[in-house]
């Protein structure tokens, strides 16, 4: 299905918003998972700095390095045929000012083969967004709860400052961001912003009124270690299936029944 489908582009996402078609986005950190998500028809693969928590076991996204984002982004881009690939700019590279951030974003695009980058911030990042867009680098703006600023925000909390959220969204759009990701925003406010901007909005913990939705794939598949956020709806429980398969493997090995003659070479 996906091998013959047309690639998802900025124009594709804009048309989907105009036609009321919902956009699906999921995180991917490696070739295998990206290939599976690609084959399942996901529109956008996000190489999120959430890998710091999901893959590396950190309590925040802050420790993730630029080199690590490029490493994982390259693997995901290699798997994508139809899906758009977006790579996060890790802390603090998205907050170093226009020139330095532009250089980093260009490096990410060039070395990973991704199609766009995601930058945390809205109004305060307008000049940086505009510079990247003018340089030919498509940008998704991330507003609301910004995980890289979790300490400054006082923790992982719902963001309810309507004036700031609307100001951030409008500034990001005016600067040239082709999409706005809203995290942990009250649903009525997310709807107000979605209706007021011409670019697509993607929600995570922002209710059902956004133009699309994104989740961390491990949360979706029931692979999360620890607490699952309120806004997650696990679609299966792979953790139980994996544990069961490994326990069966252990049993077969210890009993001597694996490998058998058909699984061995003469």
Which residues are identified as catalytic?
183
Backbone angles phi, psi at 59, to 5 degrees: -90, -15
Backbone angles phi, psi at 233, to 5 degrees: -120, 95
Four-point Cα dihedral 50, 92, 65, 149, nearest 10: -30
Enter the tokens of residue 123: 């109004």
Cβ-based neighbour number of residue 15 at 10 Å: 12
| Burial readout 148-175 (b: 16 or more C-beta within 10 A, e: otherwise) | bebeeeeeeeebeeeeebbebbbbbbeb
Displacement of CA 202 from its chain's centroid (Å) = 10
């Amino acid at each position: 299905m996906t091998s013959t489908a047309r690639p998802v582009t900025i124009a594709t996402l804009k048309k989907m918003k105009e036609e009321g078609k919902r956009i699906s986005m999921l995180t991917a950190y490696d070739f295998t998972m990206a290939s599976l998500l690609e084959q399942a028809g996901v529109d956008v693969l996000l190489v999120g700095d959430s890998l710091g928590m999901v893959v590396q076991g950190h309590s925040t996204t802050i420790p993730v390095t630029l080199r690590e984002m490029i490493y994982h982004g390259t693997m995901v881009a290699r798997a994508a045929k139809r899906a758009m690939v977006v790579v996060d700019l890790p802390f603090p590279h998205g907050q170093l000012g226009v020139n330095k951030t532009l250089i980093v974003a260009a490096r990410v695009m060039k070395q990973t083969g991704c199609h766009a980058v995601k930058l945390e911030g809205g109004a305060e990042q307008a000049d940086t967004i505009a510079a990247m867009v003018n340089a030919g680098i498509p940008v998704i703006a991330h507003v609301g709860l910004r995980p890289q600023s979790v300490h400054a925000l006082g923790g992982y909390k719902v963001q309810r400052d309507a004036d700031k959220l609307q100001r951030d969204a409008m500034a990001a759009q005016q600067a040239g961001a082709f999409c706005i990701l809203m995290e942990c925003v009250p649903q009525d406010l997310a709807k107000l912003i979605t209706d007021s901007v011409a670019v697509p909005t993607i929600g995570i913990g922002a209710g059902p009124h956004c133009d699309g939705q994104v989740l961390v794939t491990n949360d979706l598949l029931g692979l999360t270690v620890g607490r699952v956020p309120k806004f997650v709806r696990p679609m299966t429980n792979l953790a139980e299936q994996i544990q069961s398969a490994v326990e069966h493997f252990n049993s077969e090995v210890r009993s001597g029944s694996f490998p058998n003659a058909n699984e061995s070479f003469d």
